[in-house]
Each structure stands twice: as structure tokens, then as C-alpha cells.
Amino acid sequence: MKKIQIVDDSQSNIRKLENLLNTHFLVMVARTGEEAVRMAKENVPDLILLEVALSDMDGFETCRRLKAQVESAKIPVIFVSSLKEKEAVIKGFEVGGQDYIIKPFEARELVLRMKSLLKQESSRKRLEQHVKVLEEQNEKLKGKIQKVDRLSRVDFLTNLMNRRDMQEKIRAEINRSIRHGRSFTLAIVDIDFFKNINDTYGHDCGDHVLKHFVSTLKNSVRSSDYVSRWGGEEFLLLFPETKLEEGKRACEKIRQKINESPVIYKGMTITITATFGISEYRPSVRIEELIKAADDALYKGKKTGKNQVVVQSM
């Protein structure tokens, strides 16, 4: 049964309304505006019948306070008053009332208006709940999409960005270089003799070596640089706003650090080395040409002794 709050300071009016409404609703009574606001917060009704002429504050001010209070802001309010001036009716709607019934009124009309308003309010609440559910589902879906997108850009084993994501970073860096007239350097890095490590110690050891190698790379570059897994035991480093010689020096430091950081696996010490192929972006060079130049440099380094940094001019 719907709860109705009657707000009136006239005992005779309250008695008449209670007799009329008790068969249709659960009736609560407040005799002042202050009491109405307090009751509506503590025991939220479904609808409020509000007399305009109250002893402590008028019904208009009471309605304002009800609408300003979170717990009662959305409760439908019907003004019931003998004030029939147009200005009073308009004011009732201005302060947030949903209806205004002038005394004397037909009992059946009042009940029908109340039921109609309660039905509208029930529909509003159902719609609000439906919207809330849809919004929650939408947020969950967005979260899943973001997760899928992130996973599609991240290498599972090393948690580095993958080839796809790095290619986007390189394109963005090319656009930035075109706008600002600055070059950048990239390097493809390959772990030397990685196949032998897998064949000798097993793939679990190979994975351990990859993670160790990645940790060394990440700890050796600047926060502005990018590291990605390019494929297998190959990694690509992107050095924004970095000239070729500066990039070469950075790679040489990383290479030395790799040499000085052996892998410990199940009590075994495995020394690893790496070969670097470097290229520098030049105006009008396409991304495929830039990557191929670094790859050619890497190939040259692998063929001529490994464990070195080789530069390919564009």
C-alpha cells in the first residue's frame, strides 16, 4: 500500500482526509512544515498532500525545503488549498508541486488525481531504474572493451606494448617530428644465441631470460622512451627527439648493462648479450623504410660478430 503524508494544521481537515484516504493508502500526518520535512526524511512517503496555510511556515516554503532535501526531493507534492488566486496556483508549481487542488474538492477527483500521479511516479522510478541498469551495463561493457583493447596492445609474457601499439607510437612520433622539425631514433634489439638458450635449458628458462632482459631494457631507458616486444626475442626501442649519435650512445650503454647483468635461473648463471640495429628518422621517410633500415643494421650486426650496436644511415 502506498504511503501518503498529509500536511495540515487543521484537525478537522486531517480527519476528513484520513477518512477519505485510509481505504486507499497508508496515511501519515504532519501538522507543521518542520514536522513534514523531518518526517519525509525519516519515513519517506510516496506522495505528499500539502496545505498552503500552515502555522509555522507556509506550504510553498515547506515544498521548497522538501525539494532541497535529498530524501524527499523527488516525492510528488499536491497542494490542497482554499487559495484559488492564479498567482498562488502558479507559485505552487514554481516551488516544485506536481498538482494544485482548490478546496472544496470532489473526493473522487482527489483520489483519482493522487492515483494518477502515483502511477506516473511509479513509471518514472521504473524508467530511472532501467536507465541505471543500462548505465551500469554500459560501464561494464566499456570496461571490457578497454580491457580487450589494452590486451590487444600488450605482449602477454613481457607486459610490454606489442608491435601494433609500437607502430602507432612511431606514426605519432613521425607526425610530431614533421610538425616540429625534430628527428628521432629507433633501434631493433635481438638477444644473441636465444635459440641455444631455449634448446639447452628449455622454454621456461627462455621465458625467464626474456623477462630479465625486458627488466634491464626498461631500467635503462628514459621515461620518455618506448620499449616494445617486436617479435620472438626481438625488441624495438623508440627514442623521441633523439639524434642518431645520441641514440647510438644510449644503445651502447644498454648493451653494456646487458653484458653486466647475467641471468640466474635455478642456480645457474647464464650470460646474455644483444645486438642493436639503429636508424634515424629523416623527413619524407616512410615508417616501413625506417624500420627496414634498423632491421638491416641489426642483420649486419648479427652477421659480423653480434653483441654490438650498428647504425644504418637513411
> 70, 68, 25: which is closest to 49 by C-alpha?
25
6, 27 Cβ separation under 8 angstroms: yes
DSSP string over 82-115: S---HHHHHHHHHTT-SEEEESS--HHHHHHHHH
DSSP string over 18-76: HHHHTTTSEEEEESSHHHHHHHHHHS--SEEEEES--SSS-HHHHHHHHHHSGGGTTS-
Q: Give the H/E segment covering residue 132.
A: helix 107-153
* 233: annotated active-site residue: yes
Locate 122 and state its grid cell: 511509479
Catalytic residue chosen out of the listed positions 233, 245, 288, 289:
233
Burial of residue 89 (CB within 10 Å: 0-12, 13-18, 19+) is middle
The Cα diameter of the chain in Å comes to 107
Q: Which residues are catalytic, by number?
A: 233
